Structure 1
Amino acid sequence: MKREYKNNDIFHVIEDWAPKHLAYDWDNVGLQIGSYNKAVKKVMITLDVLESVVDEAIEKKADLIIAHHPLLFNPVKRINLDTPQGRTIHKLLSHQITVYAAHTNLDAANGGVNDMLCDLLGIQSRKNLIEVKSGNLYKIAVYVPISHADDVRNAMSEAGAGHIGDYSHCTFQAKGKGTFKPLEGTNPYIGTKGELEFVDEVKIETIAQEERLTTIVNQLIAAHPYEEVAYDIFHLKNEGEAFGIGRIGTLSATMKLRDLCEHVKTTLEVPNMRVIGDLDKQVRKIAILGGSGEKYIHLARQNGADVYITGDMSFHVAQDAWQMGLQVIDAGHYIEKVMKQATKLFLEKELDNDLIEIITSETSTEPFQFI
């Protein structure tokens, strides 16, 4: 039974959800500052790592900060303690607080930031707006004595094997006869040293996403009674789970653009927003991309979106959207704050809450005021 968590245990849980390979090449995700191996008892979730957020983490005695936006994005050439970034880094190191970022990989992940926004706004029947990649799939076949077949199958399934569409625990098994001869220095679970053994075994086959492969193999070995576990891994040509940036789907009913704006303001707690288009236009098909999404206006239009919800629209791109007849709600970059509570709930579900406390930052990192 686990007695404590280390930072790396938390990282693995996050990366099972939002694999690092989903991040864009220009991004900097993963460990930012700190240690993989330090014990952690309190985690704080934040959108950004500003000095004020670190002050909050110090006050609340957090050991680990999980952020959406990376603290270290561009190369650091110097750490000047007279600058906000320098002071932030100094405080983190002085108080041994680790920082980890899940950015565009959490945007692309199924159940990630864009799905969080869709869930809150009631956007249904959604698909990816921009395909990022399809995960590699592998088949795992393991040979296990009949007495332990259920244990091994369940261990693999609970580790994430056997997910096909909306089904979990998908496996195939066939009975057969296994043979082996224990040699000197062995301690066989079944059989006698120097004698050929015949054992009734089950071959269990299942499927696994690449990012879960190591965890699944570790769990099957832990559940298997043999000293040396026989298993095969095959790279499949089947397409795996599709990942993408942004989502496009539909509302449960048509509404006016002005009513959708009010819905977004209320649901996402946005005090003011910029809008492009006819406020009385009836809309239903919605594209959404948290953060800066202006370069995808043409994809939103090509996919038949009535409205594109995003942030950080610049003047000339806004004119382009207006001229092509695409309604746009610029709700700002800060709507990505939805990741704080959702990530907290995810970690609480995956971790032993008797060993670790998960909190969300109460510090606002929204730089804009509206007057």
Structure 2
Amino acid sequence: MSKLWTVSDVIAMMERWYPSRTAHTWDRVGLVLGNPQQPVKRILLAVDPVKATVNEAISGAYDMLLTHHPLYLRGTSFLPENDPKGRMVASLIRANIALYTAHTNADIAHKGVADALGERLGLRDMRPLISEGYDTEKHEIGTGRIGCVETTTVTAFADHVARVLPAGTHGLFIGGDIDAPVRTVAVSGGAGDQFLDAARQAKADVYLTADLRHHPASEHCEKGTPALFCASHWATEWPWLPVLANRIQAEAAAENVSLSVEVSTMCTEPWIRHQPTLGGLQ
């Protein structure tokens, strides 16, 4: 006969894989709200704890919403329901849905966000772009990943990346020599312009990340390689969710636990439309 996990059991599993102690000091990860002793039959995974995913969790009668991004990164003293986040907190509590987040601790981990993005692109022989040591199972962990692909060109690899990343309004921006050869690729899910120098020092031919700012990207391209691929924050982090879903379901099956884990396919980029600008320069 199958058994049930509680919220606390799910947290313990996540702590084994993505220890909260490995999160950046500024980060806020873990159980945001909910009863640790509450039984969990259904979990919804999403990148963002926003109105759309909260409503999805409520309408789907999930017991737990597990997101990559935190609800709050700074302290708050008020939770009025005329505030969007206050309203989400109240709605989740009324629906008896626990909210848990794994952010920078999931970014650096084995089978975490960086690994999932690299695997999505087909990188081989991956290692951390910036090593941060080893986990308890002796897997090297750290920021970003770097690996190799069959020799191609920037243009052809951009076509491949555009095909395999989840669809969104932002799309993919490319900077650099589009005809240059590509063999070594660095990736970092989410905002990653602070790792431009690391990608260059690692001799990457392409660096894929998100949220690249004008000046750092421009100055980088003036210096040469690697070529830059700028995707959306959401699109570079969503590939971890199916990986996590499979891990949780496999663990539940191994322990004879009755559990349904589903991935939200709702695009939560802030942009709803991409409109090319066509005005003249006079």
What is the Cα deviation at residue 75 of structure 1?
Answer: 1.0
CA distance, structure 1, for counterparts of residue 139 and residue 241 of structure 2 = 25
1:170-222 CA distances to partner (integer Å, 9 max, x unpaired)? xxxxxxxxxxxxxxxxxxxxxxxxxxxxxxxxxxxxxxx3xx8xxxxxxxxxx
Residue of structure 2 equivalent to 1:246: 144
Match of 1:370 among 265, 274, 280: 274
The residue type paired with residue 246 of structure 1 is G
What is the Cα deviation at residue 133 of structure 1?
Answer: 3.4
Give the number of aligned pairs: 268
1:328-361 CA distances to partner (integer Å, 9 max, x unpaired)? 0001211211122111111110003761111112
Q: Closer, same or farther in 2 for the Cα pair 1:61/1:270, shift >3 Å? A: closer
What is the Cα deviation at residue 46 of structure 1?
Answer: 0.6
CA distance, structure 2, for counterparts of residue 362 and residue 290 of structure 1 = 18
Q: Which runs of 5+ in 2 are unaligned?
A: 276-282
Q: Closer, same or farther in 2 for the Cα pair 1:51/1:270, shift >3 Å? A: closer
Q: CA RMSD for the aligned pairs?
A: 1.6
1:150-181 CA distances to partner (integer Å, 9 max, x unpaired)? xxxxxxxxxxxxxxxxxxxxxxxxxxxxxxxx
Q: Which moved more, 1:307-316 or 1:106-115?
A: 106-115
Match of 2:211 among 293, 298, 312: 312
What is the Cα deviation at residue 277 of structure 1?
Answer: 0.3
What is the Cα deviation at residue 127 of structure 1?
Answer: 1.2
Query: Percent same amino acid at aligned positions?
Result: 31
Which stretches of structure 1, 4 residues or more, deviate above 4 A after TM superposition?
none
Residue 3 (1) aligns with residue 7 (2): no
Residue of structure 2 equivalent to 1:351: 252
Residue of structure 2 equivalent to 1:334: 234
Residue of structure 2 equivalent to 1:13: 13
Give the TM-score normalised by structure 2. Answer: 0.90
Residue of structure 2 equivalent to 1:226: none
Residue 298 (1) aligns with residue 201 (2): no
The residue type paired with residue 145 of structure 2 is R
CA distance, structure 1, for counterparts of residue 81 and residue 118 of structure 2 = 41
- Indicate conservation of the 8 Å contact 1:22/1:133, yes or no: no
Q: Which has the larger radius of gyration?
A: 1
CA distance, structure 1, for counterparts of residue 265 and residue 139 of structure 2 = 35
CA distance, structure 2, for counterparts of residue 128 and residue 323 of structure 1 = 26
Residue 91 (1) aligns with residue 91 (2): yes
CA distance, structure 1, for counterparts of residue 198 and residue 39 of structure 2 = 45
Residue of structure 1 equivalent to 2:163: 266
The 3-state SS of whatever aligns with 2:238 is helix
Give the TM-score normalised by structure 1. Answer: 0.69
Residue of structure 2 equivalent to 1:286: 185
Q: Which moved more, 1:316-325 or 1:126-135?
A: 126-135
CA distance, structure 1, for counterparts of residue 49 and residue 57 of structure 2 = 10
The 3-state SS of whatever aligns with 1:351 is helix
Q: Which runs of 5+ in 1 are unaligned?
A: 136-208, 213-239
- Indicate conservation of the 8 Å contact 2:5/2:257, yes or no: no
User: Counterparts of 1:35-54 in structure 2 under 5 Å?
Assistant: 35-54=35-54
